[in-house]
Structure formats: structure tokens, C-alpha cells
Amino acid sequence: MHVEDIAYSVDGTEMIGHLAYDDETSARRPSVLLCHEGNGLSSHVKARAERLAGLGYVAFALDYFGGGVQLPLEQARVKLGPLFEDPGATARLGLAGLDMLLAQPVADPARVAVIGYCFGGSMTLEIARSGADVKAFVGFHPGLTVTPGSQNIQGSVLMCFGTNDPFISPDQRVAFEKDMTDAGVGDWNLEVYGGVQHSFTNPQAADAGLPGLGYDAKADARSWSSMLRLFDETINA
């Protein structure tokens, strides 16, 4: 397997993303962009990229903080603050990562998916709202943001989260459903897991010491399987 950290620049900041793919063939293959959690580009998301590579995808985990590192909680909050207020900047960071993925000779630009974790799920939605030519958008314990541009979404949307996620209120869920419906998004789905908390895909979630965060092996496995089924319908077809 080819695994490489790649430096690239966004608005004058050096980002370092994580690329992985099976190098036994030079053929183009379905491509997946991964958007990391709100604490930075962690080993969790890098491992997910390598897991996808093992399944035959070319995977690139972008960096939206700079340096390609995981940050202490307070530093991450400082970095995230402006992005919460500026969906345009969030989209630009995501699209820069998408450009790096599609610049790889093994990436098939006609078969692309974007997935994201935590705030990376919000970034996934902003990439979708930009009108990017992407076939599938998947969020794991994402922020269910409602911002302008949902009418531009071209691909299928799947958002996976738990009922005990403190960052997704019932009102936010209803507002998101209304946004998708009013925008006429052709294929969107929510997958909701009872009793499951935020960061349910990350085995180290509890290490943050924050209430409402916790790993859930069943929800992790089920959401991953749902993502792969969507890939089979979209970028593997």
C-alpha cells in the first residue's frame, strides 16, 4: 500500500493531508475525500483512509487546521470558531482537499465521494452545497448545519448520528430535513442510532473527557456498512 503525507497550501497556510491507496495497480479507481474531526487530523481519520485504501479506493484525508496534526481542545476551539461563522471558508478548505485528491493519477474524477467526521461532516455538507461534482456525501456524527446552497447538491447525502448526541438537537434535525426537502435534494437520508452519543466512530472518544462523547461499536459498524452500500450504488456502479 502507498501511504504518503502531502503538503499543500490554502490561503497561505500549509496543510498536510494523508494519502493512501493500493499501489499494486496504476489504474484509476473510485476516490474518497475524508474530512477530519474538530480536534485535527488524528490517527483515527488516517486509519479510516488506509482502511478505504485496503478496499480498493484512493483515499485522501485533508487537513483544515494546518500542519496535519491533532490539537489540544482549546486550540482546536480557537481554530473552529471562525469556520462555524463562515461556511464559504469551510467550503474552500474542503474543495482544496478535493483538488489534491483529484490531482492523484490513480483518482477517477468521475467516481468521487466525500465523507466527514464531527465538524468534518459539516465540511462535507458545505462541499456538497458548493455544487461539487461528487456522487456521495456521508457524515458521521456531523454538525447538521443549514446554510445557503443546498439546491446545488448533486450527489446522494447520508448523515449518521445518535439520539444522545448533544450537538444535534431535535430542532436542528427537523430544520435539516426541511432544508433538504425544500432544496429538492434528490437523494438524502438520515440514519439515527438510539442511545448513541457524539464521536461514536472513534474508540478514543471518551479520552476527551467531555460529556456526550462515546464510542459505540455497533453504530460504528452499521454506519460504515451503510456508507459502503451507498458507495456501491454511486461510485462503484
> How does pLDDT run across 29-74, given as a tens digit for each residue?
999 999 999 999 999 999 999 999 999 999 999 999 999 999 988 8
Angle value at C-alpha 143, between 146 and 94, nearest 5 degrees: 85
Distances (CA, A) of 172 to 50, 166, 179: 33, 11, 10
Q: Give the CATH architecture of domain 2-234.
A: 3-Layer(aba) Sandwich (3.40)
Distances (CA, A) of 175 to 144, 179, 180, 181, 183: 9, 6, 9, 10, 12
Provide the 8-state DSSP code for 3. E
* Domain positions in the chain: 2-234
The arithmetic mean of pLDDT across residues 208-235, rounded, is 96
> How does pLDDT run across 87-138, given as a tens digit for each residue?
999 999 999 999 999 999 999 999 999 999 999 999 999 999 999 999 999 9
Reduced to 3 states (helix: H, G, I; strand: E, B; else coil), residue 14 is strand
